[in-house]
Amino acid sequence: MAFDIDMIKKVYANFGSRVDAARKIVGRPLTLSEKILYAHLWDGDPKKAFSRGTDYVDFAPDRVAMQDATAQMALLQFMQAGRPKVAVPSTVHCDHLITAKEGAAIDLPHAKTESKEVFDFLSSVSNKYGIGFWNPGAGIIHQVVLENYAFPGGMMIGTDSHTVNAGGLGMVAIGVGGADACDVMAGLPWELKFPKLIGVKLTGKLNGWTAAKDVILKVAGILTVKGGTGAIVEYFGDGATSMSCTGKGTICNMGAEIGATTSTFGYDESMERYLRATDRNEVADEANKIKAYLTGDSEVYANPENYFDQVIEINLDELEPYLNGPFTPDLATPVSQMKVEAEKNGWPLKVEWGLIGSCTNSSYEDLSRAASIANQAIAKGLTTKADFGINPGSEQVRYTANRDGFLKTFEDLNATIFTNACGPCIGMWDRVGAEKAEKNTIVHSFNRNFAKRADGNPNTFAFVASPEMVAAIAISGNLAFNPLTDTLTNDKGEQVKLDPPTGDELPKKGFAVEDAGFQAPAEDGSKVEVLVSPTSHRLQLLDPFTPWEGTDLKGLKLLIKAKGKCTTDHISMAGPWLKFRGHLDNISNNMLIGAVNYFNDKTDTVRNELTGEYGPVPATQRAYKAAGLGSIVIGDENYGEGSSREHAAMEPRHLGVRAVLVKSFARIHETNLKKQGMLGLTFANKEDYDKILEGDTVDILGLTEFAPNKPLTLVLHHLDGTTEQFDVNHSYNDQQIEWFKAGGALNIIRAEAAA
C-alpha cells in the first residue's frame, strides 16, 4: 500500500522552479491553488498565464482514486483504451457496495457474498493493470486516501465528488467521471477550465462545541449549493493553521456541496503531524524541504481581496455549531435557532437516528470527540433516545478507536457499529420501517441530505452536523436540543448538562492496524485474466457508442422537462441501483426516475408521444429508441449537481437521448456528457425554458458548423403546429467537439492506441 515516494520526489523536484516561473509570468504573488495548478501543467514549465474561468488547460495529475461503484464503469472504459498498465499510481476502494443493517460483523460478510462478482472483477482488473486494490471493509476511499496517499502540493483526480477531501492535506484533488479517470490512467492529459479562486480567511480558534464541520456548514450557508461552481476554495489564516489535518479534510470534503471544483489548505504543522502519525516521515521530510512553495505567498494572504475572486472571512472564536438541512446541505441553521426554525417549518423535532461516519467525519479525532459526549452521557446517567450508528472511516481508524475504547463507549449507548464503509451515506442502509415512508428526522455527520439519500424515504428529514453534535442530539432525541444551554433529565430525574467535547487530534499511542485490507497489484499483469460473464446482471462489457451522423438533429422527442432540483441522484439514483453500476443496460432502467416532470409534477411519469400514454421515463425512452427516434431532456438550474457518476451521462447516451438542454449545469456532469458524446446545451436566454411545451418535437441546428463560442439554434415544433426558434449556448472547445463527432472521447483514445 506504500505511497509512491519516488513519484512525490519527482513532483517536488520541479515544484519550486515551476512556481517561480509562474510567478514571473503571471506577474504577481500566487495563491497555493495557482502554485499547484502551474506545477502540474501537462506541457511542463509554465509558458503563459491562464485566465481564470475561461481557459481550458491540460494538466498532469499525480494520482487517480476510484471507489467500487464508479470504478466499475471507469475500468470497463479503461479496458477499452488498449493500454497494458495504468500510467499514474491508481487505487480502487470497495466502500459503496456494503449495506448497513445489523452491524459490521454480519453486514460485511453478506456484502462480500452479494457483490462477489463485482469485487472479484475490480480485484482482477486492478491486479492486471497495476492498480492498488482496497478490499471491502478496508475503509472509505477518502479516509484511506488521506491516510495513505494524499500529499501536500499534489494533484489527484478521483471518480467520486468527495475526492476533494484530500485538500485537507494540501492537495488539489478533484472529483471526475470515470471517463476522465480512464484518460489519466491511459497516460493522457486531463483537461480543466482554469478555476476561479475563492479565499476563506479563518481567524480565531475552534472552541467549545464548535468543530471544523461547522466552518463548512457556515460556508455552505453563505455560498449555497452553487456558490463555489468553477472555483477552488482556498482556506488560510491563523484559524486554518490551528485546526487538525483531518478537520481540514472535513472542510474540503463538503466543498463538493457548494459545487466547488475543490478546496485546499496550505501545508502546515498539522499536516506534518498527520503525515508522521500515518507512517509517512519521508513525505513530511520532502515537503519540509519546499515548505514555502506549498502554501500561498504571504502577500496573498495579507491582502486576499487583491488575489481572489471572492473573499469570505470567518472568525472561529464566534462560530456557532450548525445543523444544515433538511433536504439540502446549504440550509444552515445555528443550533441556537433550531427550535424556532423547526417549529416554523414543521420539521419533526423527535430524532429517530444519529449517524456518525462517512468520508466527511470518520477520523480518529471525530470518533474521539463524539465518544467523549457518549462517555459523559453514560457517566451522567443518560441513555440515548435515538438509535445510534457509527461507520468508522477506515480499518486503521476502527482498529485504533477500538483499542482506545471509543467503540465500546458507543456500544454502551446501544450504538450499532457498521462496516468501515459508506453505508447510510450512499443509501446503502436497510433501515427498518423506511418503506412506510413516515415523516421523521435523523441527524448525521455526512455531507449530503437530499431527499431519499440515506434510507430511500422521501419523508426523512436529514440534518447534517458535526459528529459531537450528532452524538448530543441523538442522546437528547430532540432536534431543537442545544447542548450549549439546555439540560437533560437523567435516570435519577436530575437535570444534567453535557460539557463541551474533548478529543485527540491523533492517537496518543499511535495508529495501529492488523490487516489494513490492501492488495498490491501483480508486477506483471499480462497473464491475469479478467472475467465478465455475458449473462451477468451486474457487469457488462461496453460497446462503443456510434459516432455523430454528420447532420443537424431533427425531430427529437421531448423526453422530460425536469422541474427544479435535478441532481445526479435524480438522474441516476444510488441506493438499490448501485448494484448495476457495472451494467449499463440494466442501470439505464433508473434513468431520470427521480426527476420531477414539469407538466404534471410527478416523478417517473412522462407522456409517450408515440402512444399518448403516460409511463416511466426509461420505458418511454426505450420506446423512442426502438422506433429509431432521438430525444432531448430539458433541465433547470445546476442540472447534474451532486456526484461524479458518469452513469448519469451514459444512461441517456445508451438509451438514445441526443441532447440535454438546461438553464445551467454542474461542472462534472457537463464534462461527463461531453465525454460520452452527448450534446450538453444551455439556454442563451433562461426564460426560453418556459417556451418548452409538452408534446414538442425539437430540432438542433448549426451542428455542421459546430465551433467553440458559437451558439446553436433550437427549433421547437409545438403540437398546435406553431414553431419557435431561439439560440442555445454550449461550452465545447475544439477537442470536446471532436469527442462529440467521434461519438465519445473513448472512441478517439482507442483509435489512437490502435494506430
Task: Name the residues that contact ligand F3S, by CB under 6 A.
Answer: 95-96, 140-142, 160, 162, 358-359, 422, 425-426, 446-447
Least Cβ distance, residue 434 to ligand F3S (angstroms): 17
Least Cβ distance, residue 13 to ligand F3S (angstroms): 32
Least Cβ distance, residue 250 to ligand F3S (angstroms): 11
Least Cβ distance, residue 156 to ligand F3S (angstroms): 14
Closest CA to 574 of 207, 61, 97, 123: 97
Least Cβ distance, residue 212 to ligand F3S (angstroms): 16
Alpha helix ranges (H) inside 265-420: 269-277, 281-289, 298-302, 338-345, 364-379, 395-403, 406-412
Radius of gyration, CA atoms only, the chain? 25
Our CB check for ligand F3S shows the closer of 140 and 219 to be 140
In angstroms, how far apart are the furthest CA atoms of the chain? 79
Known catalytic residues?
95-96, 160, 448, 643, 645
Our CB check for ligand F3S shows the closer of 210 and 447 to be 447
In this structure, the number of other CB atoms found within 10 A of the CB of residue 554 comes to 13
Cα–Cα dist 141/359, whole Å: 7
Cα–Cα dist 513/53, whole Å: 44
Least Cβ distance, residue 225 to ligand F3S (angstroms): 15
C-alpha cell at 592: 431520470
Our CB check for ligand F3S shows the closer of 448 and 667 to be 448
Give kind and range of the element (H or E) at residue 9: helix 5-26
Our CB check for ligand F3S shows the closer of 140 and 323 to be 140
Cis peptide before 326 (omega within 30 of 0): yes
Cα–Cα dist 266/32, whole Å: 7
C-alpha cell at 439: 415523516
For residue 18, what are the contacts with CB-CB under 8 A and spacing of at least 6? Answer: 38, 39, 41, 44, 45, 46
Cα–Cα dist 395/1, whole Å: 14
Residue with cell 438499490: 576
Least Cβ distance, residue 522 to ligand F3S (angstroms): 27
Please tell me what DSSP assigns to residue 708. T
Our CB check for ligand F3S shows the closer of 162 and 565 to be 162
Please tell me what DSSP assigns to residue 195. P
As to burial, measured by CB atoms within 10 angstroms (0-12 exposed, 13-18 middle, 19+ buried), residue 422 is: buried
Our CB check for ligand F3S shows the closer of 452 and 557 to be 452
Least Cβ distance, residue 668 to ligand F3S (angstroms): 14
Cα–Cα dist 292/16, whole Å: 9
Cα–Cα dist 316/569, whole Å: 34
Our CB check for ligand F3S shows the closer of 160 and 330 to be 160
Least Cβ distance, residue 446 to ligand F3S (angstroms): 6
For residue 639, what are the contacts with CB-CB under 8 A and spacing of at least 6? Answer: 562, 566, 660, 662, 663, 664, 665, 666, 669
In this structure, the number of other CB atoms found within 10 A of the CB of residue 583 comes to 20
Cα–Cα dist 31/238, whole Å: 16
Our CB check for ligand F3S shows the closer of 140 and 232 to be 140
Question: Alpha-carbon torsion 59, 62, 68, 71, what sign?
Answer: positive
Our CB check for ligand F3S shows the closer of 466 and 747 to be 466
Least Cβ distance, residue 130 to ligand F3S (angstroms): 23
Cα–Cα dist 703/515, whole Å: 55
C-beta of residue 418 within 8 angstroms of C-beta of residue 430: no
Q: Is 12 helix (H, G, I), strand (E, B) or coil?
A: helix
Our CB check for ligand F3S shows the closer of 322 and 446 to be 446
